[in-house]
Amino acid sequence: MAEPCPSADSEELTDSEGSAYSGLQDSGSDSSSSDEEEEQEEGPGGGSVPRTRAKGAPRKRKTLEDDSSLEENKALLAQNEYEEDSSDEEDIRNTVGNIPMEWYQDFPHIGYDLEGKKIYKPIRNKDELDMFLEKMENPDYWRTVQDKMTGADIKLTDEQIDLVQRLQKGQFGDVHFNPYEPAVDFFTHEVMIHPVTNRPADKRSFIPSLIEKEKVSKLVHAIKMGWIKPRKPKDDTPTYYDLWAHEDPNSILGRHKMHVPAPKMKLPGHEESYNPPPEYLLSEEERLAWEQQEPAERRLSFVPRQHRSLRAVPAFPRFIHERFERCLDLYLCPRQRKMRVNVDPEDLIPKLPKPRDLQPFPTTQALVYRGHTSLVRCLSISPSGQWLVSGSDDGSVRFWEVSTARCMRTLPVGGVVKSLAWNPNPSICLVAICVEHSVLLVNPCLGDKLLYGATDQLLESYVPPEEERVQPVRWVTATAEEHGRGIRLLVQHSKAVKQVTWHGKGDYFASVVSDNSNMQVLIHQSSKRWSQNPFRRSKGLVQCVLFHPIRPYFFVATQRYVRVYNLLKQELTKKLMSNCKWVSSMAIHPGGDNIICGSYDSKLAWFDLDLSTRPYQLLRHHKRALRSVAFHRRYPLFASGSDDGTVIVCHGMVYNDLLQNPLLVPVKVLKGHALTLDLGVLDVLFHPTQPWVFSSGADGTIRLYT
């Protein structure tokens, strides 16, 4: 027959009954580990399951039966050591001991915690309706019980519910207990002389424990001496301090040495009186002007009014608004002094030399060369600086005398002249002109007769090779009629030619073709009438090319990049990133270490080839697209011409000291060209020896600035 469930009253001796000092021992003594261990219960699966205990329930002393299984449970106890450990700051264990809870029925509290403070009963104001709603809505209502020690609601675990259900069915609490095991006959039917056990009860079972008394007296002595201190109560009151406290060193704000006190409000003046003097009242015109002003610009934020007495003054309609703004002013005002760096704005601008210290440079328009009927696209000047040649859309090339602006010769070429270049070698008198699909080599027959005669003899001394070589172009000797006009040779290309440029020695020249293949750039040798294509494949749309003035380098400008090739090694040396959308023109410094690029997005990029592949400086002086840039051969000057009709001359000093960066200073804006068809200056060119600059424009004129 199953044993009945033991009631709460018939439990084993608890701490409060076993010893007179046990209540104190539980509240802070370092008692032996066996008193602190939790009871383990055999769960349904056979494993040892910790029995959860309601917060505040008194802990039971280990019974003798449990001591036998203590060794088995040590491993589980180690891992379940922190299972009941609560992370809460406060431990609301009820320490009243094993007394009837009915004693506290008429009190608002239900016991005392570890610090001796009252544990108040939870406010239970649930009526029948609340209980019914909770029963309907709370899915765990059926497994919730009330703890008599703390009055809190406790949700039973699955193991506890299994235990309750087994006890209700009259079964044993332990799943693994077998009531029908075969009985062991301890006793015989014969009466024995000696009893099985007659051990007298221990003395400790009926007198107070001396060891516990000693421990408690030690704890009481330590509390009296102040060695054991109760837990400090947690102070929940928020700390407030006066934001605008006086600057005494003890105040919290005393730490801020740079603290700024709150701004004071302006004291009211006569205009805020209910009966102001007549000069403070606004006239009709002043009131209208006040209403039209922005609120931030008004001298007064209100209109002064006159009332016969203080009782007649109405409520101020913007009172709340004004108080709100005052609060905003107070809490948005910065309360700390920032160490402001007092810098003179003039010091931030780089100290550039004055333009008058950088003279000479062109400042005034001296001559206008008129004669072309359409826009003048290109200019070139003889190495001596005596003759100027210009090419125009009217299909003619004109040769001018620089000093008098007189047109010496006009050469009709029957097409738009895109580019022309005078041979830089002073001993050769030859001009290369781009017309449609051909490059014309023209002897202008100007100046020294011996000079241009020697040029003709040089061209006529050419001996053709025995074997015909395959070339990308055709070299054609001029006919008698063309020879009479000055044309000596024609280099015929497959596509339209858009640029021609000479090498410094005067024998080689390069041409750029409007094509997207690898035949865009061709290099020609005039003495041997031999042409070659230096590139295997196209790297983009080539805009212009240049020869290095000293070294065997070749510059090729595409839309966004400038590539520098070594002609001897036949390899790419550098790739310059222009930071521009579309490069339009390029010029190289006579020293050869700096180049400038103009672009259609109105930028001028100066590159220092020894410094970086990115621009050393980007100048944005022009408002519209740059069409042409040029360096002076002798003076530290460079110029740029743009569609805004201006030529900007800049001082560009390059130092021999490699540690010193170039000095770039814009010195003069030259105007004069009229805008035609939205185009302004199309080409700029410096005189080889004088600080003069030539510009050609869409208005059909060439202008000389000196």
Reported as a pLDDT band with limits 50, 70 and 90, residue 92 is: low
Query: Averaging pLDDT over each range in 75-79, 87-91, 445-449, which range is the top one?
Result: 445-449
How much is the average pLDDT of 327-351?
Answer: 76
CB distance 548 to 555 below 8 Å: yes
Cα–Cα distance between 589 and 573 in angstroms, integer? 18
Residue 39 has pLDDT above 60, yes or no: no
In the predicted model, is pLDDT for residue 608 greater than 70?
yes
Average pLDDT rounded to a whole number, residues 166-181? 87
**Residue 115 clears pLDDT 70, i.e. is over it:** yes
Question: How far is residue 535's CA from residue 521's CA, in Å, rounded to a whole number?
Answer: 8
Which single residue is written with the structure tokens 């359409």? 374
Q: Which two tokens stand for residue 242?
A: 């006066």
Q: Is the pLDDT of residue 586 over 60?
A: yes
Residue 302 pLDDT greater than 50, yes or no: yes
Grouping H, G, I as helix, E, B as strand and the rest as coil, residue 417 is strand
Three-class SS of 393-408: CCCEEEEEECCCCEEE
pLDDT of residue 380: 92
pLDDT, one tens digit per residue, over 486-539 is: 888 888 888 889 899 999 888 899 999 888 777 888 899 888 888 888 888 888
Q: What amino acid is encoded at 193 in this protein? A: I
Q: With contact defined as beta carbons under 8 Å apart, do 151 and 118 qualify?
A: no
Higher pLDDT pick, 412 / 89: 412
- Residue 79: pLDDT above 80? no
Retrieve residue 577's tokens.
Answer: 């990133």
**What would the mean pLDDT of 603-615 be, rounded to a whole number?**
87
pLDDT of residue 13: 40
Average pLDDT value for residue range 76-85? 48
Sign of CA dihedral 467, 470, 475, 477: positive
Whole-angstrom Cα distance, residue 400 to residue 407? 4
* Model confidence at 660: pLDDT above 60: yes
Unique residue bearing structure tokens 């469930």: 5
Output the DSSP codes for 257-294.
TTB-PPPPPPPP-GGGSSS--GGGS--HHHHHHHHHS-
Q: What is the mean predicted confidence (pLDDT) over 44-53?
A: 40
% of the chain surpassing 70 pLDDT: 83
Question: Which of 608, 627, 630, 610 has the alpha carbon at shortest distance from 618?
Answer: 608
pLDDT of 44 higher than 50: no
Q: Is the pLDDT of residue 106 over 60?
A: yes
Measure the CA–CA gap between 116 and 233, rounded to whole angstroms: 12
Q: Tell me which of 295-299, 333-337, 646-650, 696-700 is least confident.
A: 333-337
Q: Name the token pair of 551.
A: 């070294």
* Residue 663 contacts residue 346 (beta carbons within 8 Å): no
pLDDT of 358 strictly over 50:
yes
CB 3 within 8 Å of CB 173: no
pLDDT of residue 252: 52
Distance CA 706, CA 690 (A): 9
Mean pLDDT value of segment 166-179? 88
pLDDT level of residue 546 (50, 70, 90 thresholds): very high
Q: What are phi and psi of 483, to 5 degrees?
A: -60, -35
6-20, 262-276, 485-499 — which is least confidently predicted?
6-20
pTM for this entry: 0.54
Instruction: Please count the residues of the chain.
Output: 706
Q: What is the DSSP letter of 545?
A: E
Q: Tens digit of pLDDT for each residue in 417-473? A: 999 999 898 888 888 999 988 888 888 888 777 888 888 778 778 778 888 788 888
DSSP label of 341: -
Share of the chain above pLDDT 90, in %: 17
Query: Residue 379: is its pLDDT beyond 80?
Result: yes
**Residue type present at position 626:** L
Provide the mean pLDDT of the chain: 80
Find, among 156, 143, 155, 162, the residue nearest to 43 by Cα: 162
Residue (of 48, 18, 52) closest to 35 by Cα position:
18
Q: Is the pLDDT of residue 158 over 90?
A: yes
**pLDDT at residue 260 in the model:** 67
Asked if the model's pLDDT at residue 211 lies above 50, the reply is yes
Confidence of residue 157 (pLDDT cuts 50, 70, 90): very high
Least confident of 54-68, 150-164, 629-643, 661-675: 54-68
The amino acid that residue 447 corresponds to is G
Rounded-to-10 torsion of CA 557, 430, 409, 489 = -90
What is the mean predicted confidence (pLDDT) over 368-389? 89
